[in-house]
Structure 1
């Protein structure tokens, strides 16, 4: 399209093209150049905003999964704490079985420490995810507006281009 417009723009006046058509061809060429740039720019903006919105959704899903996992580990930690309590009471009551009870306490303590460590790691990860989510959440409305505006601009450019094509066809048909 661009090469055709360039050819028509530089066509010598001896080739029988009217001044009106030559003027229209120059206008079309100028508009085509501007619109091509704008159309490409808005397309890039659409892709950028789409990627950011997708990332925002993924972070939101990750945060929800993190919350669920945190609750499960917290529940596990509570169970392990309860088990530790039971074992401590049993130790007092069953002095003759103290060695076996110590082994259970030790194993439960290790599991509790692992659960506490895992809980801390999950919580720290949740804080990072929340910060990332909050940062993107602040941009979501802007990104959505920008995304919609870019789509509208592209649609307007297509409409204007269509109108200009009809105008060109009408003038060409009259000649």
Structure 2
């Protein structure tokens, strides 16, 4: 019912303002072909813009493919970084496992009768130290920092993939818009002034 009401409103407006609109309607057949050509041109430009955004025939370079390649490169760098982190962590653990034995002598003082004494070793206490623990800790710090960097690389790669998907969608929308503009523009170009004019 709303469609009928709207139609009747338009019909009423044409009836009421028909005399004022008549000169414009008479010029319309001469204006539509140039407007149609502009729409065809705009449609072609929208289609070309869409092709520069997404992977489709006609353009060798497009934003979607470039961003996909960048995302892949970053993901590859992340994988290499993760491998390096694993190796650094393993090296740090091996370094920390190194134990150096130490000896601590047990002594006894024996008076020598001349007012002094002589120290005599009566035993050896064995223990060990890990002299490379500070290096292990530093390597662990490096591995932690690199892991944070790897996580950020992963996030960046994901965001680039999402951007690529968005560009592909936008490119498709531009292609659809361009095709529609061309179709309307070509229809407008078919309108010519009537032979009575």
Report the TM range for the smaller structure's normalisation.
Answer: 0.5 to 0.7
Structure of larger gyration radius: 2
Deviation at 1:75, TM superposition (A): 0.6
1:68 maps to 2:76: yes
SS at match of 1:46: helix
Deviation at 1:104, TM superposition (A): 2.0
1:123 maps to 2:154: yes
Summarize the Cα distance change of 1:141–1:38 in structure 2 as closer, same or farther, 3 Å threshold: closer
The residue aligned with 2:12 is: none
The residue aligned with 1:170 is: none
RMSD over equivalenced CA pairs, Å: 3.4
Deviation at 1:73, TM superposition (A): 0.3
The residue aligned with 2:166 is: 135
The residue aligned with 2:100 is: 94
The residue aligned with 1:114 is: 145
Gaps of 5+ in 2: 1-26, 55-61, 103-128, 191-197
Q: In the alignment, is the contact (CA less than 8 A) between 1:81 and 1:112 conserved in 2?
A: yes
Structure with greater strand share of residues: 2
- Measured in 2, the distance between the counterparts of 1:133 and 1:30 equals 40
The number of aligned residues is 129
Deviation at 1:145, TM superposition (A): 6.2
Q: How does 1:48-63 map to 2 (within 5 A)?
A: 48-53=49-54, 54-63=62-71
Gaps of 5+ in 1: 1-25, 162-175
1:85 maps to 2:117: no
Deviation at 1:108, TM superposition (A): 1.0
